[in-house]
């Protein structure tokens, strides 16, 4: 039973990375394709048909937005460390300059698997060498003390960018508050957070109802309250942080010249926030 659950967790991360490989011009991720496999492709085929055919482009643009923001900040020497919470199988370390220090945090089975695959691909020269530290953590558990000491031993006083994307939807509000409190502890003034989440209006869309019935069929029985949405105010009222950019699928489509194919009702419109610590 537990094993089956783990495979399912893996699958959401596989799916996200595979979407990014479907339009490399948009995602600017030329390594995501390494995660492709027949099981995920079958999942994606059904997901695009039954949930929303726009999902390839929403995922590509999310990657592109955060990649470009992190790249700019790294070029301007504003950050030295990227800490990715719920990193899944995203490939940012390989898409960014080798001087960046990367900390990837996810459930232990995910980071262990990712690490093994990355070492194999580096041996085969499919991936360049990078400075990456993998840490296995479950955000539903009591992780703060141990994680803090691990992160501090790597990051010390260096400026950081924290990324949390594709994760908050699956966490509850208390777990989310704990994460943001933790971010505040490890960051100093001038550091950044990039966060992706959905707004409450998502739940009124046809696409969300499709998603719910798809998950209920394929993953486990859930209802709409099992998926967290977050309003702009959550970010605007964060003590010690200033919201400096806010985008969504529609604004990013304009910015990057992506032609929107479906009606709003059939799109899972994700919002993207950039916060700077004051
Ligand atoms: C949809 S994937 C997104 C992965 C990655 N951020 C990306 O955008 O490619 C969600 C990730 O969140 C991780 N995750 C979900 N709940 C978690 C928890 N309680 N603790 C740690 N990681 C969690 C999953 O293991 C998975 O890798």
Query: What is the longest distance spanned by two Cα atoms in the chain?
Result: 48
Q: What is the pLDDT of residue 4?
A: 44
Contact present, 189 and 278 (Cβ < 8 Å): yes
Total-model pTM: 0.96
137's CB contacts (< 8 A; 6+ apart) are 105, 106, 107, 108, 143, 147
- Residue-wise pLDDT for 46-68, tens only, equals 999 999 999 999 999 999 999 99
Q: What is d(CA 209, CA 213) in angstroms, rounded to the nearest whole number?
A: 6
pLDDT at 99 exceeding the cut of 60? yes
> Which atom, in ligand 1's list, is nearest to the CA of 166?
3
Q: What is the pLDDT of residue 26?
A: 98
Q: What is the pLDDT of residue 165?
A: 98
Q: How many domains does the chain have?
A: 1
Per the prediction, the chain carries an average pLDDT of 95
The domain of 72 spans 2-277
The residue ranking higher by pLDDT, 97 or 5, is 97
Report in angstroms the alpha-carbon separations of 239 from 7, 175, 176, 193, 242: 38, 17, 15, 13, 8
Cα(277) to centroid(ligand 1), Å: 24
**Residue 223, CA atoms < 13 Å, CB-side half-sphere:** 1
pLDDT at 268 exceeding the cut of 80? yes
CATH number (domain holding residue 202): 3.40.50.150
- Residue-wise pLDDT for 180-217, tens only, equals 999 999 999 999 999 999 999 999 999 999 999 998 88
Contact present, 187 and 277 (Cβ < 8 Å): yes
Q: What is the pLDDT of residue 3?
A: 39
> Which atom, in ligand 1's list, is nearest to the CA of 63?
8
Q: What is d(CA 21, CA 59) in angstroms, rounded to the nearest whole number?
A: 10
Q: What is the pLDDT of residue 218?
A: 82
Contact present, 168 and 239 (Cβ < 8 Å): no
Query: H/E element holding 14?
Result: helix 2-21
β pairing state of 192-198 and 270-277: antiparallel
pLDDT at 6 exceeding the cut of 70? no
Residue 97 DSSP one-character state: -
- Residue-wise pLDDT for 7-26, tens only, equals 465 778 999 999 999 999 99
Cα(134) to centroid(ligand 1), Å: 14
Cα(162) to centroid(ligand 1), Å: 14
% helix / strand / coil in the chain, to the nearest 5?
55, 15, 30
Q: What is the pLDDT of residue 8?
A: 62
Using a pLDDT cut of 90, give the percent of the chain over it.
90
CB atoms within 10 A of CB 48: 15
Q: Which residues line ligand 1 (CB under 6 A)?
A: 9, 12-13, 16-17, 86-88, 90, 106-107, 110, 137-140, 165-167, 170
If you compute the radius of gyration of the chain from its CA atoms, what whole number of angstroms results? 18
Cα(88) to centroid(ligand 1), Å: 5
CA angle 42/47/51 to nearest 5° reads: 165
Q: What is the pLDDT of residue 61?
A: 98
91's CB contacts (< 8 A; 6+ apart) are 17, 20, 29, 31, 32, 34
Q: What is the pLDDT of residue 9?
A: 58
- Residue-wise pLDDT for 221-265, tens only, equals 888 989 999 999 999 999 999 999 999 999 999 999 999 999 999
């Amino acid at each position: 039973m537990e094993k089956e659950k783990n495979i399912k967790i893996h699958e959401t991360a596989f799916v996200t990375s595979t979407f990014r490989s479907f339009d490399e011009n948009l995602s600017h991720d030329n390594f995501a394709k390494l995660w492709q496999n027949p099981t995920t492709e079958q999942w994606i085929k059904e997901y695009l048909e039954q949930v929303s055919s726009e999902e390839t482009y929403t995922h590509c643009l999310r990657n592109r937005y955060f990649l470009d923001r992190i790249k700019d900040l790294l070029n301007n020497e504003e950050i030295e460390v990227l800490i990715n919470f719920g990193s899944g199988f995203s490939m940012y370390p390989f898409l960014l300059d080798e001087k960046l220090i990367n900390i990837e945090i996810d459930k232990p089975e995910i980071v262990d698997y990712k690490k093994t695959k990355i070492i194999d691909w580096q041996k085969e020269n499919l991936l360049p060498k990078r400075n990456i530290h993998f840490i296995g953590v479950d955000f539903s558990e009591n992780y703060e003390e141990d994680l803090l000491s691990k992160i501090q031993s790597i990051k010390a006083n260096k400026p950081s960018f924290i990324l949390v994307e594709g994760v908050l939807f699956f966490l509850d509000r208390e777990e989310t508050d704990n994460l943001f409190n933790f971010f505040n502890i490890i960051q100093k003034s001038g550091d950044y957070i990039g966060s992706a989440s959905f707004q409450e209006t998502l739940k009124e869309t046809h696409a969300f109802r499709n998603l719910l019935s798809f998950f209920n069929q394929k993953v486990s029985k859930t209802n709409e309250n099992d998926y967290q949405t977050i309003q702009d105010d959550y970010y605007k009222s964060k003590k010690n942080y200033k919201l400096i950019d806010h985008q969504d699928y529609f604004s990013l489509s304009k910015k990057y010249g992506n032609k929107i194919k479906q009606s709003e009702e059939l799109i899972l419109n994700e919002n993207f926030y950039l916060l700077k610590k004051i």
